[in-house]
Chain A
Amino acid sequence: MQLEHRLSVPAPVDEVWSALLDPERVAPCMPGAALTGVDGDTFTGTVKVKLGPVALTYKGTGRYVERDEQARRAVIEANAKDARGNGTVTATITIALTGEGAHTYGIVGTDLTITGKPAQFGRGMISDVGGKILEQFADCLSTKLGPDAAVPPGDGDAATPVTADGASAGSEVSTPAPSTPAAPVGETAPVGETAPVGETEPVGETEPLDLMQYARGSALRRVGPVIGLVALVVLIVAVALRRRA
């Protein structure tokens, strides 16, 4: 089936693009995902999916089959198999980014094939859950790429001007500093205080920022199970169960 979702991150398109191309930066933001290896354009990992009583562990590989720097378009092919034999998932994911100043919009198209129990399922639920996962992913990226992100020294210039407020409902308390690099403020993303790179320790942040603290420097965070990209499959499974009546 064909799904389409939209992505919105309050960070410049260059940063979002480079983050998306790096599985080691994508994985920590994908709920329930853990990277087990990266080899050039190919990466392997597991996605633990928990929804209601069902918990599946999908193991698989992904590959960047296309990267168009000019058009900011990437295509990833992924396939995974449930560890306990509950079916497989294959997906071709096409991401196209457009930047508008300090904000990035993306269209994510997914060509999804599901086998096994999940096969008897409706696209509505999959699409909804896929959308929510992408939202979580975008929120997570926002926190990592926004101005409150504590960028490790030497990791490039991450002078994003607008506070990434969209991450969670928590209030953000950043310490403004006079030496903030000039950049356009007041995009569609909520207006916040600008913060210098690598210096701010926002107080009273909610979860997403904690993620950032762990991901600082070269230590990459392996996120534990929550709801994975294939959560939709779980739903399918759970829904499919009742069809057995």
Chain B
Amino acid sequence: MIPAAFDYVAPTTLDEAVAALRDAGDDAKVIAGGQSLMPVLRLRMADPSVLVDLGRVDGLRGTRLDGDTLVIGATTTHHEVRHDPFVAEHARLLTEATATVADPQIRHRGTIGGALAHADPAGDLSAPALAVDAEFTVIGPQGSRTVAAADFFEDYFTTALRPDEILAEIRVPLHTGWAARYEKFHRVAQQWSIVGVAATIDTDGGTIRHAKVALTNMAPVPVRARTVEDALVGRPATVDTVRAAALHATDCTDPMSDANADAEYRGHLAQVLTRRAVTTAAGL
């Protein structure tokens, strides 16, 4: 099907974009790569009257270092994030996770900001963003504000973004030199995660110094596996440590049952994938 008719605005500055969104009122939608939005429009499951395209807005795309923070522009494509040297060096988990997103065509159009704002519980970037304690710069008519990843994901497909706001930047504290691994389980190639585990570990001479683990699709929002982290930090980096820690993967989770897997199986997957992800990230 083709989408219902809509007006199209392509601002070139962020201020213009915010104004366009505000002027269009309730019935506007932001579009970046359109990899989630266009199917919805084509199926006529939405008919916004105005699309505000962020693709031409200056300064929203690309990465840079800002002191001890890596800044990723919201309209940076998955492909760019995946091959970005700053991301590889300072936030390797994002490199790993982005590589598993969909397929090359989608990765060349889809954007990191779009994926995060869409907040699909099975989306592969939300858990990694949560794991690395990312902060999001959000711009609206009232100005700009920063939202921590932990506060950003509120519910299924629901974020802290107000209807007149735009996600502009993803700010990640540097995790320079940390190893990382994103384990994603799916039955069909290029499918969304049935369960995914994001792990990034910093070891120091055989001991786990820091560990950050987050789960995809184990709840309406990404879940930070704090008890797994607690069971890893300060311990020797061994297979046994990881095995014991991975059992905590189901703590504080609320997986759903659907056509792909039931809740119990998801719990099992979470434990297995956590063990695998942490094992790899710990260099074992």
Contact = CB atoms under 8 A, between A and B. Distances in A.
Interface of A: 51-56, 84-86, 117, 120-125, 128-129, 132, 234-235, 237-239, 241-245
A154 B50 CA distance: 47
Interface of B is mostly: loop
B183 interface: no
Contacts of A244: 39
A53 B158 contact: no
Given A52-B158, A55-B47, A132-B155, 13 more contacts: A51-B157, A54-B45, A84-B45, A85-B44, A117-B45, A122-B258, A124-B256, A125-B156, A129-B156, A235-B157, A244-B39, A245-B188, A245-B191
A52 B188 CA distance: 25
Interface string B133-161: 00000000000000000000001111000
B43 interface: yes
Interface of B: 29, 36-37, 39-40, 43-48, 102, 118-120, 122, 155-158, 188-192, 220, 255-259, 263
Contacts of A239: 122, 258
5 contacts: A51-B158, A122-B256, A122-B257, A241-B40, A242-B120
Contacts of A245: 102, 188-192
Contact of A238 (B48, B157, B220, B256): B157
Contacts of B120: 52, 238, 242
A124 B257 contact: yes
Contacts of A237: 45
A242 B122 contact: yes
Given A53-B46, A86-B43, A241-B40, A123 B257 contact: yes
